[in-house]
Amino acid sequence: MSFFIEDAMAAGAGPSAPDMISQLLVFGGIFVIFYLLFIRPQNKKMKEHQEMVNALAKGDEVVTNGGVLGKVVGLHDSFVTLEVALDIKLNVQRSAIGAIQPKGTIKGLKS
């Protein structure tokens, strides 16, 4: 039998391990936060970009991710032909189109 206070306290009052349900709730909460802050907005942005790329038409004025400004003169399956200056045409991937600019952004380019 233990008559000492240290022995009695050590036997009965130890820190208990957190139960499994609370751990699952914490991990579930972290996943929900990551989904709402990172995954969902990124998926929404990718969907909007894909819709913009699919809606390209001849005559649209666009800027690429690299900063090249041009007018769409040809559309292909995975490439777009841009006229960046008089008689200078570039083929770029559709996914490289960053944004559609308002009409009249390019001045001096007549085609």
Q: What is the pLDDT of residues 48-62, one digit of tens each?
A: 999 999 999 999 999
Per-residue model confidence as pLDDT tens digits over 26-56? 999 999 999 999 999 999 999 999 999 999 9
Burial, 97: exposed, middle or buried (Cβ in 10 Å; 0-12, 13-18, 19+)?
buried
Model confidence pLDDT, tens digit, residues 14-25: 555 668 898 999
Residues 52 and 100: beta-carbon distance below 8 Å: yes
Domains of the chain, residue spans: 17-52, 57-101
Sign of the Cα pseudo-torsion (92, 95, 99, 103, in order): positive
Q: Is 4 helix (H, G, I), strand (E, B) or coil?
A: coil
- Residue 105, pLDDT above cutoff 90: no
CATH class for the region spanning 57-101 = mainly beta
